[in-house]
Structure 1
Amino acid sequence: MSFDIRPAVPQDAAAACAVLRRSIEECCGLDHHGDPAILAAWLGNKTPKMVTTWFESPTNYPLVAVRGETIVGVALLTAAGKLALCYLEPEALRQGAGKAMLARIEQQALALGMKTVFLHSTVTAEGFFAGRGYRRDGLLRAPYGIDTVLFWKPLVADASAPDSQRKRFCNCSSA
């Protein structure tokens, strides 16, 4: 399948939001186990208005994957080097759109001078990120009630885990 990967614009927000919601509901069953409370919490901020805000933020780099005229994927990199979104509609899984979006995100991160990218993966997507060179660095409970896997990837030879990640897992006192 052929996909176009392009920067997302605010006019894409409703379609991108629909992709987010479908992906979470239909593809992430290993994570939410059909629990209505978890789904409600996870989907709570996945509204067209909120996605528009994310796309409009000058500190974010949002992308969409488009097949024909249809948005089938959405990804978003923050200025902190976090891959905050990387979701596909169920029909677009395992067809190359996720790989293509991730490659563009990594290119943008390098262009912005970032040495690493990090993310909190669902259990469902753990194999995808591990297969693309991301390094597992522990587990973290998401505010909406699922366990996520902290991953990071060095984009340059001398990169190490970002300070924010090392501190999160050291259990040291800041006093």
Structure 2
Amino acid sequence: MEQAILKAIKEGKDTVEVGREKKISFKLISEGYTFPVRLSDAEWRERLKADQYYILRQRGTERAFTGALYKNSQKGTYYSAATGQPLFSSSAKYDSLSGWPSFWEPIDPDALRYRVDFDIGYPRVEVVDSLSGSHLGHVFADGPLPTGLRYCINSAALLFVPEGGTPPPILGPTKP
């Protein structure tokens, strides 16, 4: 999967289809791409808790098996802690035994953007919030069917709202 994305980037493509039985359109982040929500560092620090800021804005990773939502089995929706947009449904959540909340597909592929990172010496596909570019986690090609994908997402990057609950407000585009 990483190689397909690297090839698409090299060819100047902004989208690549990924998945097994069910394909998901990965919208890639091209150089110079500007996200609709642009807050200053001070505004992000004020808006987010310390652990959320570390994960979402500094591209951190929480320790495996420690996240508040790792074992959550309630029905509901997982939203971006940065922008409030819906990302994943509990119906797509599964226990990958990786130590992080894992999902096999997003609610809406347009809610996510992707880039390849080499932070640990080899290519991984980073998943970010499409409105703000905030780091959510990574996606791997070792998940269950129908997509064969494993979205491995940090708990601190998510807000969970149980079925029937009130969703968080969505942070809209900001002016430059």
The structure whose RCO (Cα within 8 Å, separation 6+) is larger is 2
Structure 2 length-normalised TM: 0.26
Of Structure 1 and Structure 2, the greater helix share is in 1
TM-score by length of 1: 0.26
